[in-house]
Amino acid sequence: MMGALLDEATEILRSRGGRMTSQRKRILESLELLGSHPSADEIFAFVSQSDPTLNLSTVYRTLRWLEQEGLISARHFHFDEDRRTDRFDAASPIDHHHFICTECKSVIEFDNRLIGEVKNQFSRQTNCWVQSVSVVLYGLCPNCQK
C-alpha cells in the first residue's frame, strides 16, 4: 500500500522518457505521509525539512503534473477565508467525497452509494453525461461542536 503513488508515478514517468528525481520522490512521499489535503505551501514546508534547497515552483510543477496524469486531484474548499489556495489529494479523485470542519479545518473522507444514484437520476432527467461528482459537506466535527 505504502509507496503505491510513487510506484505508479515512476512507471508513468518511465513510459514518457521522464526522470524520477530526488525532488519528485520526496514530494510524492510527502503526499502519502501528509494525509490531510495539504496545500502546495504545506508540502513545500514539509519537504524543505529534509531538502532545504527545494524550490516552491518545483512543488507546483510536480503537483500539476501528477494532477494531469490523474494520480492526484486539486481542489479548493471554500471557507470564508482561505478562498484561493488549492489543496491536493493523494487519493484517487474518483468516488470519494469530503466533510470539512469549518472550525478546525479537519477533513473527513467518505463515500455513499446514494451519490451514484443522484448522478444517475440527474443523467436520466437531463440527458447530460456525468463524468465526475464532487460532494463537500461543511459543518462541525464532534470535537468542535460544544
Partner DNA sequence: AAATTATTGCAAATCATTTGCAATAAAAGT
Partner DNA sequence: ACTTTTATTGCAAATGATTTGCAATAATTT
Which residues are at the interface with DNA (CB under 7 A)?
Answer: 13, 17-24, 39-41, 51, 53-58, 60-62, 64, 83-86
Residue 73, burial from CB neighbour count under 10 angstroms (0-12, 13-18, 19+): buried
Identified binder of a copy of itself from the candidate list 86, 91, 105, 107, rule CB under 8 A = 86
Element (H, E) at 124: helix 113-126
> Smallest distance, Å, CB 83 to a copy of itself?
7
Inter-residue contact 99 to 107 (CB < 8 Å): yes
Q: Which is nearer to a copy of itself, 33 or 108 (CB)?
A: 108
| CA 122 to the chain's CA centroid | 26
| C-alpha cell belonging to residue 97 | 467525497
Q: Which is nearer to DNA, 25 or 119 (CB)?
A: 25
The rounded distance, in Å, linking the Cα atoms of 55 and 123 is 44
Residue 39 corresponds to which cell in the numbers above? 496545500
Query: At closest approach, how far in Å is the CB of 49 from a copy of itself?
Result: 28
Is residue 75 part of the contact set for a copy of itself (CB under 8 A)? yes
Site residues for a copy of itself, window 109-138 (CB under 8 A)?
A: 110, 112, 114-115, 117-119, 121-122, 125-138
